[in-house]
A = this chain, B = another copy of it.
């Protein structure tokens, strides 16, 4: 089974990370060369990966994907096992993000990008009632998917328990919380941040397990931040706390 990934960033980042087996890269004869394309060809040559220039008609089946005239056939993303992740991930001031019921592929892609930029160690998703990694997620993540483990679990409750048993603290984003997200000191702990579904929020069973519940203050009577934007506000606050003198 192979996946197809689309666009210059996706293909380039897959080449850079080297974690996934790339079978073949197809490039439209009609696209203009640029520095990204040159880099892709260079990396492909270095790694002995075939690339072919093909007629633009080859891309018609992928018209919905904003492919920019370049696709690659690649082995699927390997989900990581939580136990394995916890065994390998040792250190201080680490973070993971837990997604509880995110349904939109664009949101998952944007969240993956944001997590990589913010140095998050891994993203935990449940195997049901959450979007899985698909072609739109890969494309929206702009290749970031190749730089962070996605950990799939059968039960988020069990996963949170395991994290707590391994001395991770658990922070849940909850519109009804008393504390604002910036009232918490994220500096001296490993923490997991739980973000909930766009409408329903974080499940009650997970809220109950959380050590902290935090909200983002809303300055207008309009309480509906997109989940990837909410995550960005919170996670970069944790980065600020870690970096600011």
Chain A residues packing against B (C-beta within 8 Å): 9, 13, 106, 110, 113-114, 116-119, 140, 142-144, 147, 180, 182-183, 216-220, 222-226, 228-233, 236-237, 239-240, 243-244
Show 8 residue pairs from A and B whose CB-CB distance is below 8 angstroms, ordered by the A residue: A13-B222, A110-B228, A113-B224, A114-B229, A117-B218, A118-B219, A119-B220, A140-B226
Q: Count this chain's copies in the assembly.
A: 2
Whole-angstrom distance from the CB of A215 to the nearest CB of chain B? Answer: 11
Would you give the shortest CB distance from A176 to chain B, in whole angstroms? 16
A230 neighbours in B (Cβ, 8 Å):
232
For A218, the closest partner residue in chain B by CB is B117
In the complex, A110→B120 CA distance in Å? Answer: 22
* Most chain B beta-carbon neighbours within 10 Å: one of A140, A222, A224: A222
CA separation between A232 and B225, bound complex, in Å? 10
A244: chain B residues within 8 A (beta carbon): 180, 182-183
Return the chain B residue nearest A113 by Cβ.
Answer: B226
- Are A117 and B228 in touch, CB under 8 angstroms? no
Q: Is the CB of A216 within 8 A of B180?
A: no
Per DSSP, chain A at the interface is helix
Knowing A217-B243, A237-B236, A237-B237 are in contact, say whether A144-B222 is a contact too (CB < 8 A): yes
Q: Residues of B contacting A144 with CB < 8 Å?
A: 222, 224
Asked if B180 and A222 sit within 8 Å, CB to CB, the answer is no
Task: Using A143-B224, A180-B240, A228-B229 as known contacts, list a sample of 9 further A-B pairs with CB atoms less than 8 Å apart, ordered by residue number in A.
Answer: A13-B222, A106-B106, A116-B222, A117-B216, A140-B226, A182-B244, A216-B236, A226-B228, A233-B236
**What is the CA–CA distance of A245 and B142 in the complex, to the nearest angstrom?**
38
Partner of A119, one of B182, B219, B228: B219
Q: Which residues of B contact A218 (CB under 8 A)?
A: 117
Interchain CB contact (< 8 A) of A237 among B142, B183, B240: B240
With the chains together, A183 CA to B245 CA distance in Å?
10
Does B217 lie within 8 Å of A110, measured CB to CB? Answer: no
A153 to B229, CA, bound (A): 26
